[in-house]
A and B are shown apart, each in its own frame.
Chain A
């Protein structure tokens, strides 16, 4: 079946540094990928929609300059948390859907636990 790979699975960084998270669709091409954020014991909240070859669409309240999204190819989307601060600590998870067919389920990466010290 389809697989979405996300790296790294865990990252600890100092405040002020930038962190890049990669999301790859391994056996299909994804024109659209989605990035979610999850706080402890909370639900997944959509941050942005990543569109191959164009700018990402951000949800209300999500800082586009803080969370840079690049979808440069049909199999790779990256989320860069710039100048990370402790309040950015969270679980980030990406998802992708095959571009063919309207009723395809979404596949999810394994998530990235970001801890900013």
Chain B
């Protein structure tokens, strides 16, 4: 099956700093989503981005499907950005999402 690798596995940032999280995948994908899992376990969908670039406030994401990677940018990080960021992909409309292992982000004041 498709493999999803995320880097870095852990990241500590000073409040206000910027960061880039990376997601590599091993095959062509139909769908790619970025999630933030909050301390209560809830998955918050950040972006649905099988290709191209999207921005939402301080967050933006870019997927280069031909090169099989996606990047999540966090600018001016805040302590509330802390948590685990997951990248997940599927290969067709009928298949489930396959998750990467996540990037655990800690933003310190």
Q: Please report A residues at the B interface, Cβ cutoff 8 Å.
A: 32, 34, 36, 38, 41-46, 49, 91, 93, 95, 97, 101-108, 110-111, 113
Contact = CB atoms under 8 A, between A and B. Distances in A.
A51 to B, nearest CB: 10
A71 to B, nearest CB: 14
Interface string B29-73: 011010100001111010010100000000000000000000000
Contacts of A110: 40-42
A43 B97 CA distance: 12
Given A43-B102, A95-B97, A108 B31 contact: no
B74 interface: no
Given A43-B101, A46-B98, A102 B45 contact: no
B41 A91 contact: yes
Nearest to A47: B96
